[in-house]
Copies of this chain bind each other. A is one copy, B any other.
Amino acid sequence: MATRGLKLVGWGYEGDEITEVERQTVISRMCQRFGGEFEIREAPGEDAVALHAPRLPVPAELFAFTTDSKRDRLLHTYGKSYPDYARQFLGDYRNAPDIVARARSEADIVAVYDYAGRVNAAVIPFGGGTSVCGGVEPEVGSTFNGTISLDLTQLDGILEVDKTSRAARIQGGIRVPAMENELKSYGLTLRHFPQSMELATLGGMIATRSGGHFATLYHIDDLVESLRTVSPAGVIESRRLPGSGAGPSPDRLMIGSEGSLGTITEAWMRLQARPTFRAGTAVLFDDVFKAAEAVRVISQAWLFPANVRLLDSREAFNNGFGDGQQSVVVLAFENADHPVDAWMDRALAITKDFGGQFDHDAAKSGSGHRAGAAEAWRNAFIRMPHHMKIAVEMGIISDTFESAITWERFPEFYKAIVSATENACLKATGQKGSVSCRFTHCYPDGPAPYFSFQAKGRHGALAEQWLEIKSRAFDAVITHGGTVTHHHAVGRHHMPWYRRQRPDLFASALQAAKDRLDPKGLLNPGVLLAVRS
């Protein structure tokens, strides 16, 4: 019944610690940036945390898979957002669920719904628990008698594999590494690798419209062939179809519903053959807007690079590329069928038209192994989730947010968001912050810019200072026409801006759909839609 040794505070599993070298690199970078001394604080351990007694008993029918142990409740209180960490450091677990149910089957899920309905408890689906937007925190106001965290990680099987159509029927609670490991034996891969991949579950990625591996094609929405969800009102299972024009897509209503309409128990996912040909390189630019133009033209040329990630000069420097003056475009092609040289050659020629500098020999099609800049980027990328805890220990406010904007508005958008965030850091902390940007995904009509910021905060007030910065940054995102989220979901943190972005009448239609699927309003209250009054 243990949660596979997950850390109470920090990224990943116990024993998988960041190395002292990595730790010192992060610390010295912060010292360089913010100067002066840092008071290092530690988060309270399990024993030091005061936790309210469970307001719900574990009933007989849930006993076999439900617990009210302190550690399980603490482990299901938060996701992995910055304010989650900040509050963990303060020992603030006031929103801990009263019980944690680890469903082993759809019948278990139905039993949880039934119990919740009887006792008026909220049910919060919990997959990888990696939400960076308050998506899994049982903060549901005062209209419920208690909260149940519905952990889905026991639903972790691959049930069928269709090698011909390249698809598999997979349970929602499986984590990415286990899924990829099993698919590997068929020569297949979902190739959907969010930064949270170590812990993320398939169902969680679908429920949050997660961003994945492919920078220019195939968002997770496109990889879902059919979906099975369990709502309090029953089951919705769509047909396995490569395409269909039969009315509005049933799947698209559930994709992105963040546990508010039902629990994703199974999906047939479209898979890829494992790539055998790869080419990757980094291209340097003196001007970030020229670099963006190059990325735009590549994105509009039907070349579909697996990766085309623009890092502005600060972001590049922070990730060990360039001299702090130049922007970088990390460019990679991959294919399981044929060499990708023609593709890479054309993409590089485009970058050259916009003043890009690159080593042509380094970009030759390889035998399937990553190398060079792309590999360096990938390694840094998957370690980043470990850094947030160090930031909180040091009293640094550190977060990221991403949006999307059409190309013609990008230059103004970029300047406005960087400037608003810099000003917000100064205002909230009295000291200059650091703001940088990269593209995570690029489409023919625009990029998804992803902003990172750090500011030197004050222990004890980190969550409040974070909120002040975030609020000003998000005001700017919404005012300048962006989306509140490209692939981090809405959760509870983004609700005020999601409300401004979303058409009111669509909200009303979505609420009507929820009322039908979840008549008592028990599922993840406060996410996407207001908590029932």
Seen from chain A, the residues whose Cβ lies within 8 Å of a Cβ on chain B are 162, 164-167, 208-211, 219, 221, 225, 231, 233-250, 252-258, 261, 270, 273, 296-297, 300-304, 335-338, 342, 346, 404-408, 441, 443-448, 481-490, 494, 498, 501-506, 508-513, 515-517, 528
A245 CB contact (under 8 Å) in B164, B240, B254, B487: B487
Docked Cα-Cα span, A101 to B325, in Å, equals 61
A460 to chain B, nearest CB (A): 32
Smallest distance from the beta carbon of A20 to chain B beta carbons, Å?
A: 36
User: Chain A at the B interface: mostly helix, strand, loop or mixed?
Assistant: loop
Q: Which residues of chain B come closer than 8 Å to A248, judged between CB atoms?
A: 252-257, 510
- Among A244, A253, A448, A513, chain B packs the most CB atoms within 10 A around the CB of A244
Contacts of A241 in B (CB 8 A): 404-406, 446, 482-483
Q: Is the CB of A485 within 8 A of B166?
A: no
Contact assessment for A244 and B300 in the assembled complex, using a CB-CB cutoff below 8 Å:
no
Q: Report whether A239 and B481 are in contact in the complex, using a CB–CB cutoff of 8 Å.
A: yes
Are A252 and B250 neighbours in the complex by a CB distance under 8 Å?
Answer: no
Q: Quick one: closest B residue to A163, CB to CB? A: B408
- A346 to B337 CA separation, bound complex (whole angstroms): 9
User: Pick the contact of A304 from B234, B302, B447, B512 — CB < 8 Å?
Assistant: B302
CA distance A240 to B235 in the complex (A): 33
> Quick check: A300 and B512 within 8 Å, CB to CB?
no
Interface contact B485-A242, CB-CB below 8 Å: no
A253 neighbours in B (Cβ, 8 Å)? 248, 252-253, 506, 509
> Lowest 4 A-B CB distances belong to which pairs?
A242-B446, A209-B245, A301-B337, A252-B252
Q: A240-B406, A242-B445, A407-B164 are in contact. Are A302 and B337 (CB under 8 A)?
A: yes
Cβ contacts under 8 Å, A445 to chain B: 165-167, 225, 242, 270
- A188 CB, min distance to chain B CBs, angstroms: 11
How many identical subunits does the complex contain? 2
B489 touches A245 (CB 8 A): yes
A18 CB, min distance to chain B CBs, angstroms: 28
A483 CB → nearest B CB, Å: 4
State which of B346, B405, B502, B508 has its C-beta within 8 Å of the C-beta of A246: B502
Asked if A502 and B247 sit within 8 Å, CB to CB, the answer is yes
Chain B residues near A167 (CB-CB < 8 A): 406, 445
Most buried by B among A233, A239, A256: A239
In contact, A244 and B509 (Cβ under 8 angstroms): no
